[in-house]
Amino acid sequence: MPYQKLLLYSLFIVAPLIVVSLLSLDRTISDYFFAQRGDALWHFGNFITYFGKSDIYFIIAIGLYFGYRKSNATLSKAGIYLLLLNLVSGIVVTVLKFIFAKTRPLLYHSDGVFAFDWFRYEYAYNAFPSGHSATALAVWFGLALLFPRYKIALTLVGVMIAFSRMVIDAHYLSDVLFGSAIGVATAMLIYAKMQLKAFESVQLKPYLILGFSALFALFSTLGYLPLFDLDEGAFSEAMREMMVGKDYITTYLNGELRFDKPILFYWFGLLGIGSFGVNEFGARIASAWFALLWIGATYLFVRRLIDTQSAFWSAFLMLTTLQISIISKAAIADALLNLTIALSMFSIYCYYLKRASKYIYLTFAFMALGVLTKGPVAILIPLAVSSIFFVWLGEWRAYLKALFHIPAILLFLLIALPWYYLEYQAQGQAFIEGFFLKHNVERFGNSMEQHWGPWFYYVGVILVGMLPFTALLWGAFKNIKAKLQEPLTLFLVIWFAFVFIFFSFSGTKLPHYVIYGYTPLIILMAKGIRTQSESLIILPLFVFLLLMIALPDLLVGMHDTIKDEYILIVVENIHKEFGLHYKTLLLALTFLLVAIGLSKLTKEYKIIATGAVFIIALNFGVLKSYSALVQQPIKEAALFAKHNALEVVMWKLNTPSFSFYSQRITPKREPKAGEIVLTRSPQLKTIKHYEVLYQKYGVVLAKVIAK
């Protein structure tokens, strides 16, 4: 577009709209959306506004430039284009924000202030123009210029992102219009200056897809959801107490000894909350990095021993399957444990191929790190699988040589033994009984904490845990008898089968135990993608989405059969969090999934698109609503207690995340008169007189007046 037309566009269209908005529309519209906070549109706005952040597009731009710098000049130039769109619009907006210093709606709603304060740069005074709107329109209208065939859809995405700022009451209409105009003008100017030509399609490089998938699936939502009790809350609070108490050998939870797990993950978790603060992101960042290392190690192993295509699919499936996606973002030790087990097993197989001593050392070193992460299971799985594998192939001499390699055993002891020795010196027999006997021996022989199940328990876990790619399980085991003639396939099957069988006969059954065998299972699935029928790819996710849409109504329909009073309260309030915004998102994703299935995309791109749809549905739909219903009340009660410096007693409730958020130890016992108690509301009927301080969805913080 010629510059003269661009100037006319700015002067005669946008400028009058901005003036009208400032004079009469801004506050009226802001009042409307402020009154609608928490409704379906507000939730959708909170979700989509995330895509107005420039850092997302900076990473994509840099990836495009360096990814295609030597192989595709057009795409490399597109990376520079995307980078400039962000930089130019960002600089212009920053300067204008400082000049105008217009107040945000938060000041209007709190103090009645709606004004320009001129030449200051604080959050409450940097509304005009909207930076998110400028970024969104610069990027998405810029993409519309590159892909004219999709210009309407791409522009509408940018407009939705921009106007989400108004929906969540972060900006006024005038802010959004001004920012959007800057974004559109920036896109047209840079597109013209760079003399770019429109193109219709590109072939993305595999490592770019994996990079973007890792960014979105692992890191983008680390601080998005509250901590989940019991495990996340317990690990996170133990980290916090370690930081406060400065005891880096023994872990405590609410002031009491905690022998559930060894020390290694706590040390890394401590680095997370020490670097990023006592919050969800700080508690979870270590897990995300270990998951990335686990996935990266699997990619390199498969690429070396099979091929690049299978390596890509192994990594992508690990990033987007249900159970791995969840533990990879959780403040628990499982991502680190799976990393150490996988590296031990990869080293064992490399030793089988090369017979080099370095792989023996690596195996023992990784097992030692695993023992420091979660205990004997890190020895059991590599030892059992390797013995079966080597004996099966008649290679028992090579196996015995590795098993009794004295220098490697000494290396193992050098890494693993010091902490165990120091902990025994500090806690004595309590450590032996608490860690080895209770949390290892008894877990296998007996059902602990009501975590039990039938022998086929893990069949169901795997079918659900492999979502959205459950259909690929067929390809993994198709013609398996013939495939077992190949040593690598034999090794992978033994690995998975041992984990599956061993934990199926364990007295204590938890869903994440079988994940120790997911690395070989994923590799087998990746190898079978070539022969997988295209028609079944989207079916498991389609069924999952329909079930999740119907779930709130199904639970409400079961209301009369529920005996637990707390569960009844949760079900009675379920539509407040699993309401219109939740169903709208999942229904839209269902239609998108059907469109993907009916499209002419290749099977490979359908798998990638299915993974993306699932991650959005899981993180921004199911987990978000579930956490808002069950965990958000715990967090809000804790923040209330922290703000008012309350000493709280936890009664008939086990939610250690409360201690993490309130940053105080919360003893678990029956409350006395005059004390503040955190409990579930049905328990209050056993207290004679009390004053409710906070209550939501069955979680209550109350002052006990008389017992």
Q: What's the pLDDT tens digit per position in 35-65?
A: 877 666 676 777 778 788 887 788 788 877 8
- Statement to judge: residues 88 and 195 lie in one domain: yes
Question: Does the residue 603 lie in any domain?
Answer: yes
Give the DSSP H or E segment for 253.
Answer: strand 252-253
Cis ω on the peptide bond leading into residue 129 (within 30° of 0)? Answer: yes
What does 120-154 look like in DSSP terms, one character per residue?
---GGG--SS-HHHHHHHHHHHHHHHH-GGGHHHH
Q: pLDDT at position 201, please?
A: 53
Single out the residue of 505, 533, 529, 501 nearest to residue 517, CA to CA.
501
Q: Confirm whether pTM is higher than 0.95.
A: no
- Statement to judge: residues 553 and 699 lie in one domain: no
- Statement to judge: residues 58 and 189 lie in one domain: yes
pLDDT higher than 80, residue 707: no
Q: pLDDT at position 448, please?
A: 47
What is the rounded average pLDDT of the residues 79-87?
A: 89
Which residues, other chains included, contact 399 with Cβ-Cβ below 8 Å and sequence gap of 6+? 386, 387, 390, 391
In the chain, the number of structural domains is 3
Write down the residue that tokens 């087998």 correspond to: 524
Q: pLDDT at position 385, please?
A: 95
- Statement to judge: residues 152 and 56 lie in one domain: yes
- Which of the listed residues 630, 646, 679 is the one where a domain comes to its end? 630
Report residue 647's pLDDT band, with 50, 70 and 90 as the boundaries.
very high
- Statement to judge: residues 646 and 682 lie in one domain: yes
- Statement to judge: residues 47 and 142 lie in one domain: yes
Q: CA–CA separation, 269 vs 272, rounded Å?
A: 5
Average pLDDT taken over every residue of the chain: 86
SS3 355: coil
Q: pLDDT at position 449, please?
A: 47
pLDDT higher than 80, residue 255: yes
Return the CATH number at 116. Answer: 1.20.144.10
Q: pLDDT at position 68, please?
A: 77
Parent domain of 699: 633-706
- Statement to judge: residues 165 and 82 lie in one domain: yes
Question: Does the residue 16 lie in any domain?
Answer: yes
Q: pLDDT at position 343, please?
A: 97
- Statement to judge: residues 194 and 81 lie in one domain: yes
Output phi, psi for 257, to 5 deg.
-55, 135
Q: pLDDT at position 424, please?
A: 84
* More confidently predicted of 223 and 679: 679
Q: What's 689's DSSP letter?
A: E
Residue 629 and residue 573 in contact, taking contact as beta carbons nearer than 8 Å: yes
pLDDT higher than 80, residue 569: yes
* Helices marked H in 168-214: 173-194, 206-214
- Statement to judge: residues 57 and 120 lie in one domain: yes
Q: What's 258's DSSP letter?
A: -
Question: Does the residue 481 lie in any domain?
Answer: no
Q: Residue 328 burial by CB count (10 A; 0-12/13-18/19+): exposed, middle or buried?
A: buried
- Pairing state of beta strands 256-257 and 252-253? antiparallel
- Statement to judge: residues 603 and 546 lie in one domain: yes
- Statement to judge: residues 660 and 618 lie in one domain: no
Return the axis-axis angle of helices 151-167 and 26-35, rounded to nearest 10°. 80
Q: CA–CA separation, 239 vs 525, rounded Å?
A: 37
Q: pLDDT at position 297, please?
A: 96
- Which of the listed residues 186, 203, 220 is the one where a domain comes to its end? 203
pLDDT higher than 80, residue 71: no
Tens digit of pLDDT for each residue in 304-346?
999 999 999 999 999 999 999 999 999 999 999 999 999 999 9
- Statement to judge: residues 94 and 183 lie in one domain: yes
Question: Does the residue 89 lie in any domain?
Answer: yes
270-285 burial: b if 16+ Cβ within 10 Å, else e: bebbeebebbbbbbbb
| Cα–Cα separations (whole angstroms), residue 358 to 37, 43, 198, 352, 399 | 60, 54, 53, 12, 14
pLDDT higher than 50, residue 450: no
Q: pLDDT at position 122, please?
A: 76
What is the rounded average pLDDT of the residues 281-306?
A: 94
Q: Assign 3-class secondary structure to 607-644.
A: HHHHHHHHHHHHHHHHHHHHHHHHCHHHHHHHHHHHHC
What is the rounded average pLDDT of the residues 105-122?
A: 80
Residue 91 and residue 193 in contact, taking contact as beta carbons nearer than 8 Å: no
Tens digit of pLDDT for each residue in 512-539?
889 999 999 999 999 888 777 777 888 9
- Which of the listed residues 611, 630, 649 is the one where a domain comes to its end? 630
Q: CA–CA separation, 67 vs 227, rounded Å?
A: 36
Question: Does the residue 52 lie in any domain?
Answer: yes
pLDDT higher than 60, residue 703: yes
If one counts every other C-beta atom within 10 angstroms of the C-beta of residue 510, the result is 18
Question: Does the residue 257 lie in any domain?
Answer: no
Question: Does the residue 526 lie in any domain?
Answer: no
Question: Does the residue 595 lie in any domain?
Answer: yes
